[in-house]
Structure 1
Amino acid sequence: MITPDINDLGLAGYDVRPLTPEDAPAVYELMAAGELETIGVVAIEEADIVSDWQRPSFDLATQSIGVFAGARLVGYAEVSMGRRADAAVAADHRRRGIGTALAEWTQRVSRRDGSGLVGQPVPHDSPGERLLRSLGYRELWTSWVLEMPEGATIEPQPVPDGFTVRPAQDEADFRAAHVVVEDAFLEWSERERETYEDFAAQVVLRPGFEPWQIRLMTGPSGEVVGTSILQLAEDCGYVSRLAVRRDRRNRGLARALLVDSFAVARERGATRSELSTDSRTGALGLYEKVGMQVTSTWHHLAIDTATRTAS
């Protein structure tokens, strides 16, 4: 795979190179500082970066870039599947062309990998949003992080007769959860189907994972018809994925999974619970009705790289 030239980004005085696994802590610190500045809390974990980078579909050597001032990482970008980008620039190194150079680099990667469209999520009214909009990026969707505040509870949701919520136990359960998630998410998401190997890298092989974090809803015949996937971070239980098979919806199964997940998280020490949703799903109102509150708003901004002149 040909790597877009990283030496012609116009970043005089900086060292630029692809990232390595050993750079994960520095990327975490950079992104955490940005989140604290823009949304007031640190939502990302280093485990998020490690699990994303270990996906078989992601090649750190050709799909990532780091900008260094001496030994310090002050800018970073990555592009997955030629389509999904993430980037950050240290506050004290902004307005020096780093953000614009990184955006141009992500577009080159997208063109190289044949996507034609590349975008990334940015917090509402953040420096990143203002930069990308000034570069011609357009909004594809809006997403929200919601929290069930400490001490609040969701009203119980009885599990219908014949259905059961249980923890995953083995790889067969992990694979069944993957199928339910992908079938549901691809109803509204325009992307290629995620492989089980990529799913496992982000969930099963994520640092700190234990099988009980995958909650399964099984039907009368024992088949998996829904799943909720939990992540624990200090005092927070985060539901990273929630899905119910289409032919089993409108029975309260998703809400029952949510109640179960939040309860299990609290049993494990979490005092509050979170999840995220976006405007493509139409689920924001549902979560607000059960008492969850929006804590941050993000915009997914994208640009059509196929119509831009390669540089």
Structure 2
Amino acid sequence: MPRPELPAGYVARPATLADVPEIWRLVAACEDGHPASDPDTVAANLARPGMDLALDTVLVHDGAGDLVARAWVNRRSEVDVHPDHRGRGLGGALLTWTEARAREAGGRNLVQVASDTDGAAVGLLRAHGFEPFATNWLLEIAMPTEPEVPEPPAGVTVRAFRSGDGPAVHRLLEDAFDEWQERRRSYDEWARLTVERATFAPELSPVAFAGDEPVGVALALDVPGSADGYIERLAVRRDHRGLGIARLLLRHTFRDFHRRGRRTCTLWTHTNTGALSLYQRVGMTVRLSSTVYGLDL
């Protein structure tokens, strides 16, 4: 697979795991209010099943040797261009490369996400034939005073995540997300994106039990330097929905972040979860939104 055709003054090469810190700094410079990126997320994406770093990744450096853009493709794709290097054709070159690589690998579609405030990125995607099909929302709640936690439903208990809970919580989340996610993740892949992240906060991650069985969970990240608490995953088992368990878990996490000095808590949700109204009922509002675009190959 050839490298992308870049504007003069830029060079491309594949990524390696040694590049994770530099990639993370680039991603952080490109973020639009997302409070939860960290090097663990970058490393986990580079270790996605089936990812061939030599074929499926591109890093772009300028003449000074600084990393200014990157892309990867593996069923879905991500393209980031440093704000100081936008408008020079790098985004279009990398987008063209991701499409070519996806076709070469036999993909049937390609997915990209763009902030709704980034008109240039949206225009580029639409010019390449991408169509919108889902919306992501970053929700927030202000917590000037300590949130109250309701009593659990009859027969339900709540405690913080403990070592050894991982496999059962993994099954619960994958079962819950089967309704809309592209595929089930293995435990190892899931863990890299959740409970093995350096920012995972087990003491802020409540698990709801009915007897000995977990029936709900909220996994929290405590990101150094962030003013926000962040909830990475929230799910309730299908046969225990409608009992107020999701609200209970959210309020537990809100309260515990407040006790750590955080006065705002955030989380991402999207169209397919159908959970926006739930979060709005507990007092969360939309901070920003992005759109998921798809290209039929």
So what's the TM-score if we normalise by structure 2? 0.90
Question: For residue 136 of structure 2, what is the aligned residue in structure 1?
Answer: 143
Question: Matches of residues 152-301 of structure 1 in structure 2 within 5 Å?
Answer: 156-171=149-164, 173-189=165-181, 191-219=182-210, 221-233=211-223, 234-301=226-293
- Give the CA deviation at 1:201: 0.9
Write the distance in 2 (CA, Å) between the matches of 1:204 and 1:60. Answer: 24
1:260-292 deviations in whole A, cap 9, x for unaligned? 111222233422100111111221122112111
Gaps of 5+ in 1: 306-311
Question: For residue 308 of structure 1, what is the aligned residue in structure 2?
Answer: none
1:43-93 deviations in whole A, cap 9, x for unaligned? 5333432343345554434322111103111111112xx322111112332
1:29 corresponds to 2:21: no
Q: Secondary structure at the match of 1:193?
A: coil
Residue identity in the other structure for 1:73: L
1:208-261 deviations in whole A, cap 9, x for unaligned? 435334421110x21011111100123321111100110110000111111111
Write the distance in 2 (CA, Å) between the matches of 1:180 and 1:69. Answer: 45
Write the distance in 2 (CA, Å) between the matches of 1:140 and 1:18. Answer: 30
Q: Contact (CA 8 Å) 2:216, 2:246: kept in 1 or not?
A: yes
Q: Contact (CA 8 Å) 1:166, 1:217: kept in 2 or not?
A: yes
1:111-153 deviations in whole A, cap 9, x for unaligned? 2333311112111030222211121110110010011124166
1:78 corresponds to 2:83: no
Question: Matches of residues 9-88 of structure 1 in structure 2 within 5 Å?
Answer: 9-35=5-31, 39=32, 44-55=37-48, 57-70=50-63, 71-79=65-73, 82-88=74-80
Write the distance in 2 (CA, Å) between the matches of 1:18 and 1:281. Answer: 34
- Give the CA deviation at 1:154: 5.3
Write the distance in 1 (CA, Å) between the matches of 2:53 and 2:262. Answer: 33
Q: Contact (CA 8 Å) 1:32, 1:42: kept in 2 or not?
A: no
Q: Contact (CA 8 Å) 1:85, 1:106: kept in 2 or not?
A: yes
Write the distance in 2 (CA, Å) between the matches of 1:286 and 1:193. Answer: 24
- Give the CA deviation at 1:163: 0.7
Q: Contact (CA 8 Å) 2:221, 2:229: kept in 1 or not?
A: yes
Write the distance in 1 (CA, Å) between the matches of 2:248 and 2:157. Answer: 10
Over aligned residues, Cα RMSD in angstroms?
2.1
From the superposition, tell whether residues 213 and 83 of structure 1 become closer, same or farther in structure 2 (CA, over 3 Å). farther
Write the distance in 2 (CA, Å) between the matches of 1:114 and 1:158. Answer: 51
Residue identity in the other structure for 2:91: G
Residue identity in the other structure for 1:174: G
1:91 corresponds to 2:83: yes
So what's the TM-score if we normalise by structure 1? 0.86
Q: Secondary structure at the match of 1:165?
A: strand
Q: Among all aligned residue pairs of Structure 1 and Structure 2, give the percentage whose two residues are the same amino acid.
A: 36
Write the distance in 1 (CA, Å) between the matches of 2:34 and 2:196. Answer: 26
Residue identity in the other structure for 2:2: D
1:91-124 deviations in whole A, cap 9, x for unaligned? 3322332111111121123223333111121110
From the superposition, tell whether residues 207 and 109 of structure 1 become closer, same or farther in structure 2 (CA, over 3 Å). farther
Residue identity in the other structure for 1:138: E
From the superposition, tell whether residues 154 and 60 of structure 1 become closer, same or farther in structure 2 (CA, over 3 Å). farther
Write the distance in 1 (CA, Å) between the matches of 2:86 and 2:37. Answer: 21
Write the distance in 1 (CA, Å) between the matches of 2:202 and 2:112. Answer: 30
Q: Secondary structure at the match of 1:194?
A: coil
Q: Contact (CA 8 Å) 1:55, 1:197: kept in 2 or not?
A: no
Residue identity in the other structure for 1:44: S
Q: Contact (CA 8 Å) 2:81, 2:91: kept in 1 or not?
A: yes
Write the distance in 2 (CA, Å) between the matches of 1:208 and 1:156. Answer: 24
Q: Secondary structure at the match of 1:95?
A: coil
